[in-house]
Amino acid sequence: MFLSKSLIPILKNIPSEAKIKSHQLMLRTGMIKQSSAGIYSWLPLGFKVMKKIESIVREEQDNIGVQEILMPTIQSSEIWKESGRYNDYGEEMLRIKDRQNREMLYGPTNEELVTEIFRNSIKSYKSLPQLVYHIQWKFRDELRPRFGVMRCREFYMKDAYSFDVDMDEAIYSYNKFFLSYLKTFKRLELSAIPMAADTGPIGGNLSHEFIIIAETGESKIYTDKKIFDVDYSETKISKDSLSSLRNKYDTFYAVTDEKFNKKEFDNKVIEENKLITKGIEVGHIFYFGDKYSKTMNASVDNKGKKEYVKMGSYGVGVSRLVAAIIEAKYDDKIELMKWPINIAPYHCVILPQINKNDKSNLEKSINIYNKLKSKNIDCIIDDTDETLSSKVKKFNLIGIPYQIIIGKNSGQNNFEFGGVGENLSVYNVEKIENIILEELKN
Ligand code: ATP
Ligand code: MG
C-alpha cells in the first residue's frame, strides 16, 4: 500500500475542538472524521485498529464458550415497555417512529431483546447456562458528547448476556467474564483494574467496572496499588478457581468517586499503597438476578418447577478502547505513539528518500514490501516527496511499530531499521522479517 493512494487525511495542526490527546491524535492522523455531534466515520487507519481490537475481544469471548449472535440496532418499543425501562431510560434513548407510526428505538443496550430471544427459544434447565454475545453499534444520546470516540453518541460495543438456573451458577458465569476481561485487556497491553461499582440504570446487585489509569479519564479512582500484582495466570475455568480469584481482587480497596469513603480507604490501605488518580472505564459487568426475567417472563422448567432465570450482562467499549489505548500509549510531549503490534494498523512503514531523478529507493521499497508481504507482514510505503525527516516525524505520530528507512545509508540489502522512536540499526530484510515475526508471535 502506498501512502499517496490511501485515504489517510493527515492534518498539519492540532484541531482546536480536540481537548484530549487521543481525540487530537485520531483527528490529526485521519483515523476518524466527525460527521455530526458525537457521530463519526471510521477511516482506514482507525477502522483497521478497531477491527483488530474487535477480533481480540471476540477471541476471548469464544475462549470461555460464549456464543456469538447478532441482534439489530433498531428495536421495537414493546419489549422496553414490558421491562419498564421505556420511560426509565429517559433522554439518552433515541426514539424513532416508522411509517406505520410504530414506536421504534435505536438500541442503547440489549437486555430486553436478548431476553425476548431467550424466552422464545429455551425451555429447560438442561439447556443452561446460555451465554451469548454480539458486537454491534449502540446509540445513546449523551447530554455532552465529547473527547471524540471516548464519549460519543454512536459507538461500537461488545455486549454479552448470561442466563442461569440459580444464583450460584449465575455467579460462576459472571466470574468467567471477569477473568476473560482481565485477559482481553492484557492482550491490548492495558492494565485494567476491576472495581466494585454501582449498577446504575441496568439495576441489580453485583457489578465491576474495568478501569484503566489515565490522566484524562472521566472517573476519579481510589485504589490500593497492590491490586496490580494480583496474578490470574493460573486461574482455571472452574467454580473454585474463579471464586478464589474474585476474592483476591475484592479484598483490595478499589472504587470510583461514587463509592469512595475516606474512612474505609484510610483503614484498609496503608499510606504508601494509596493511589488516587483518574481512569477510563473500558468494560462493565453486572449480575442482576431476575430483574428482567421476572418482568418479561423468561423462565425454565426445573424438574417440574418454574424458575425465573438469573441473568448478567457484560459490556466492552470496543470503539472507546481505540481512544483509551492512545491515552495510555501516546506521549504528546514528544509526539510519539507506538501501537501494540497485534492491533497496529500496519506492522511496519517503509520510508524511502525520494529524489526527482532517481527512483531507485522507491524500487527498493517495493521489493522489501513484497518480501515482507509474502510473510504476512503488513507494510505501508510513504511514497510522497516529503523529506525523510518529515516522513519520520509523521510516522512517529501515526505509531506504526516499526520503521525501515531507505536513504543514503542503505545498501542493496541493508537498511536502517528500528522501532518507532528508537535508535536505528542496519539489517538485511531477512533479519528485519525475523524481528517482526518474533514480536508478532508473543
Ligand atoms: P459511562 O459511565 O462511561 O457512561 P456506562 O456505565 O454507561 O459508561 P455501560 O452501559 O456499562 O456504560 O456500557 C459498556 C461499555 O460501553 C462502557 O464500559 C464503555 O466502555 C462503553 N461506552 C458506554 N458509553 C459510551 C459512549 N457514550 N461512548 C463510547 N463508549 C461508551
Ligand atoms: Mg453512560
pLDDT for 14-32, tens place per residue? 999 999 999 999 999 999 9
Distance of alpha carbon 279 from alpha carbon 282, whole angstroms: 9
Instruction: Please tell me the number of the ligand nearest to residue 203's CA.
Output: 1
Distance of alpha carbon 259 from alpha carbon 19, whole angstroms: 28
Above 80 in pLDDT, residue 197? no
Residue 46 carries which side chain, given as an amino acid letter?
G
CA of 283 to the centre of ligand 1 (A): 8
Q: What pLDDT is attached to residue 205?
A: 72
Q: What pLDDT is attached to residue 364?
A: 94
Above 70 in pLDDT, residue 215? yes
* Mean pLDDT of all residues in 38-66: 98
Asked whether 107 lines ligand 1 (CB < 6 A), one says no
Instruction: Pull the grid cell for residue 321.
Output: 478502547
Q: What pLDDT is attached to residue 196?
A: 83
Instruction: Please tell me the number of the ligand nearest to residue 144's CA.
Output: 1
Above 60 in pLDDT, residue 203? no
Question: Residue 72: is the preceding peptide bond cis (ω within 30°)?
Answer: no
Q: What pLDDT is attached to residue 2?
A: 96
pLDDT tens string 263-317: 999 999 999 999 999 999 999 999 999 999 999 999 999 889 999 999 999 999 9
User: Considering only CA atoms, which residue is closest to atom 18 of ligand 1?
Assistant: 283
Closest CA to 292 of 137, 3, 152, 84: 84
* Mean pLDDT of all residues in 168-183: 98
Above 70 in pLDDT, residue 91? yes
Q: What pLDDT is attached to residue 359?
A: 86
- Phi/psi at 83 (5° precision): -75, -15
Atom of ligand 1 nearest to the CA of 286: 11
Asked whether 208 lines ligand 1 (CB < 6 A), one says no
Confidence class for position 201, pLDDT limits 50, 70, 90:
low
CA of 108 to the centre of ligand 2 (A): 10
Q: What pLDDT is attached to residue 199?
A: 62
* Mean pLDDT of all residues in 216-237: 93
User: Considering only CA atoms, which residue is closest to atom 27 of ligand 1?
Assistant: 151
CA of 7 to the centre of ligand 1 (A): 29
pLDDT tens string 361-391: 999 999 999 999 999 999 999 999 999 999 9
CA of 325 to the centre of ligand 2 (A): 19
Distance of alpha carbon 331 from alpha carbon 198, whole angstroms: 33
- Phi/psi at 433 (5° precision): -55, -50
Average pLDDT, the chain: 95
Q: What pLDDT is attached to residue 160?
A: 98
User: Considering only CA atoms, which residue is closest to atom 13 of ligand 1?
Assistant: 315
Q: What residue ranges in 184-309 does DSSP mark as E strands?
A: 192-196, 206-213, 219-224, 254-256, 274-289, 299-302, 305-308
CA of 35 to the centre of ligand 2 (A): 21
Q: What percent of the chain has pLDDT over 90?
A: 90
> Strand 379-381 vs strand 348-352: parallel, antiparallel, or unpaired?
parallel
Asked whether 21 lines ligand 1 (CB < 6 A), one says no
Instruction: Please tell me the number of the ligand nearest to residue 138's CA.
Output: 1
> Strand 130-139 vs strand 67-68: parallel, antiparallel, or unpaired?
parallel
CA of 281 to the centre of ligand 2 (A): 10
User: Considering only CA atoms, which residue is closest to atom 1 of ligand 1?
Assistant: 281
Asked whether 155 lines ligand 1 (CB < 6 A), one says yes
CA of 132 to the centre of ligand 1 (A): 19
Instruction: Please tell me the number of the ligand nearest to residue 286's CA.
Output: 1
Asked whether 322 lines ligand 1 (CB < 6 A), one says no
Above 90 in pLDDT, residue 409? no
Distance of alpha carbon 14 from alpha carbon 232, whole angstroms: 41
Instruction: Please tell me the number of the ligand nearest to residue 211's CA.
Output: 1
Closest CA to 3 of 390, 409, 435: 390
Domains of the chain, earliest start first: 3-329 (3.30.930.10), 348-441 (3.40.50.800)
Asked whether 140 lines ligand 1 (CB < 6 A), one says yes
Q: What pLDDT is attached to residue 299?
A: 97
**Range picked from 214-223, 332-341, 403-412 for highest mean pLDDT:** 332-341
CA of 317 to the centre of ligand 1 (A): 6
Asked whether 181 lines ligand 1 (CB < 6 A), one says no
Confidence class for position 202, pLDDT limits 50, 70, 90:
low
Above 80 in pLDDT, residue 262? yes
Q: What pLDDT is attached to residue 200?
A: 61
Asked whether 284 lines ligand 1 (CB < 6 A), one says yes
